Amino acid sequence: MALLGNLIARSLEVRKKFHLPVASPIVYQRHTLRQLLERGQYTAFGKHYGFNNILSREVDFVKAFRDRVPVYTYNEMYKQWWYRCREGEENVTWPGKVKYFALSSGTSESASKHIPVTQDMIRSIKKVGFKQLYSMTDFKVPASAFGKGILMLGGTTSLFERGEYYEGDMSGISAKNMPRWMSAMLYKPGQRISKRPKWEDRIRLIVRNAKKWDVGTICGVPAWVQIVLEQVIKYHNVKNIHEIWPNLTIYIHGGVSFEPYRESFKKLLGKPIKFIETYMASEGSFGFQARPGVPGIKLVLNAGIFFEFVPFTSENFDEDGNPKAGANTLTIDEVQENTDYAVMISTCSGAWRYVIGDVIRFTNPKEHEIIITGRTKQFLSLCGEHMSVDNMNKAIDTVSKKLKITIREFTVEGLKYDTLFAHRWYIGCDDPTVDPEEVRRLLDQTLCDINDDYAVERTSALKEIFVEILPSNVFYDYMNAKGKVGAMNKFPRVIKGQQLEDWLNFIGTQKVHIIHAPAGS
């Protein structure tokens, strides 16, 4: 294993000495779109929208593509096209038959989505993975780390055969297509454990076997990784995770903002490690943090994904976060810094002008680096306060630091209050000294400081702020009850509609102590 680590590190250093030619972002993206159109022109989708005619526009083929193909959401894409792929039809939105479907419920939908995963997409994901591996040399990761175990805390790797295709968690599809040497030598917890269908069983076995492994890298969603590390520490009666895994050097995270978890995460460590953010979804792998000390994910523009960016405004989206017909879109060379955009993709899995639901902001357009600020369906603007998930994360982070408490989960609902409006925060915190009134005051103050619209509405229509402190396990028990425990499942930061009704019914049936901060306290 040490020899493998040194070999990988040496090869990365050698590659870094070669200065490969680099094109501009829009050149990469134009080339990517042309390749996608060429591959897709003989599919049912390509024939329907005349991809061959679009390709004949040598200069304006990008504009012709945007003009001719409408914006798609998942429901529209599935009901019109992807259901045919599941029925075994070939050449629907991408050449050939689709062998895999990734099951994804995201954070705003109750029913599972079926996202097609083609062999071309699997190759794309591997390409992005190797690009991220190359970038590790810039993070001054010791050579020894590359030969250590990689603990991947995803969903079950068991796939379910459904006639002519397999479906399951994206973790399972990736594991099935992992290089054999990596699966045999580096991948933890290994196929035997990772194929267990129940999250609780997988975690129990990971905890018990933790001492047998020499883990150097952990990958996963922060909330569940934190739970696993805490259980390992408790079970083996140690002070921190480095007493079990002394070579733990890297934590690769994604899916949600890491900021609300950062302080509590550090308490589990015995020494500093590298925190590296990545951007991966069931639809593909989009990018990774490429520069140490720089808060931004670098989009990969030459891996079979063509990006468009939709300004996240009322002109382009309705009040429920759905894109409007004819929504204005921008390409990579047209975006601006510090503006919120919804992400739209066309991919080598047969997604075309597909809005995935993420809202991002460019921190450095020249370097095509972004931060994820929220979801199109997870924002609060009852009366014009325009409160994003990014705002909420910053407010929670401020409360955690100033009050020196650990907030493990939270969600917010918007509600009518008398003739005006209010927000109600549900916060998972197990600190016995927590003062809900102080939490409420700091949340409100921070949001006023960072969001001018919120500050204005707090003097008028947004009349009250409520805070309820719950034991953090209530959030996890709710996810468990909904069949969304572990892996890539995230608790929604804004809760509304049927999801809100289910949440209120659930906490109403739980015998838990809820601490309230009343209005105007």
Q: What are phi and psi of 79, to 5 degrees?
A: -65, -30
Q: Residue 141: its pLDDT value, please?
A: 80
Strands (E) across 433-495 are located at: 462-470
Q: Residue 199: its pLDDT value, please?
A: 80
Q: Residue 147: its pLDDT value, please?
A: 79
Strands (E) across 36-153 are located at: 100-104, 113-117, 149-152
Q: Quote the Cα angle for 19-332-374, to 5°.
A: 115
Q: What is the pLDDT of residues 211-225, one digit of tens each?
A: 999 999 998 888 889
Q: What are phi and psi of 336, to 5 degrees?
A: -125, 160
pLDDT by residue for the chain (521 residues), tens digit each? Answer: 555 455 555 555 555 555 556 789 999 999 999 999 999 999 999 999 999 999 997 778 999 999 999 999 999 999 999 999 999 999 999 999 999 999 876 544 446 789 999 999 999 999 998 888 888 878 888 777 777 888 988 777 788 888 889 998 887 788 777 766 565 567 888 888 888 878 888 889 999 999 999 999 998 888 889 989 999 999 999 999 999 999 999 999 887 778 888 888 889 999 999 999 999 888 999 999 999 888 899 999 999 999 999 999 889 998 788 999 889 999 999 999 989 999 999 999 999 999 999 999 999 999 999 999 888 888 888 888 889 888 999 999 999 999 999 898 999 999 999 889 999 999 999 998 899 999 999 999 999 999 998 999 999 899 999 999 999 989 988 888 877 765 567 888 999 888 899 999 999 887 766 676 655 54
Q: Residue 521: its pLDDT value, please?
A: 47
Beta bridge partners of 139: none
d(CA 439, CA 390): 18
Q: Quote the Cα angle for 38-39-44, to 5°.
A: 105
d(CA 67, CA 262): 43
Neighbours of 255 (CB within 10 A): 21
**Which residues, including other chains, have CB under 8 Å from residue 390's CB and lie 6 or more apart?**
257, 361, 371, 373, 374
Q: Quote the Cα angle for 442-443-446, to 5°.
A: 80
User: By CB neighbour count within 10 A (0-12 exposed, 13-18 middle, 19+ buried), where does 73 fall?
Assistant: middle
Amino acid at 373: T
DSSP conformation class of 81:
I
Q: Residue 108: its pLDDT value, please?
A: 42
Kindly state the tokens that stand for 8: 């990988």
d(CA 355, CA 77): 10
Q: Residue 30: its pLDDT value, please?
A: 95
Kindly state the tokens that stand for 206: 């990971």
User: By CB neighbour count within 10 A (0-12 exposed, 13-18 middle, 19+ buried), where does 271 fall?
Assistant: exposed
* Cβ proximity of 100 and 117 under 8 Å: yes
Domains of the chain: 389-517 (3.30.300)
* Cβ proximity of 300 and 25 under 8 Å: no
Q: What is the pLDDT of residues 372-415, one digit of tens each?
A: 988 888 888 888 888 988 899 999 999 999 999 989 899 999 99
Q: Residue 16: its pLDDT value, please?
A: 57
- Find tokens 């924002």 and name the residue: 379
Cα dist from 326 to 22, 27, 72, 316, 469, whole Å = 34, 25, 11, 8, 43
Q: Residue 520: its pLDDT value, please?
A: 55
Q: Residue 341: its pLDDT value, please?
A: 96
Q: What are phi and psi of 427, to 5 degrees?
A: -125, 125
Q: Residue 22: its pLDDT value, please?
A: 73
d(CA 397, CA 478): 23
Q: Residue 480: its pLDDT value, please?
A: 80
d(CA 491, CA 22): 39
* Mean pLDDT for the chain overall: 87
Q: What is the pLDDT of residues 336-380, one digit of tens each?
A: 998 999 999 999 999 999 999 999 999 999 999 999 988 888 888
Cis? peptide before 189, omega within 30° of 0: yes
* Cβ proximity of 339 and 158 under 8 Å: no
- Find tokens 């603990």 and name the residue: 151
Kindly state the tokens that stand for 27: 């050149």
d(CA 339, CA 351): 25
Beta bridge partners of 311: 341
Q: Quote the Cα angle for 2-7-11, to 5°.
A: 150
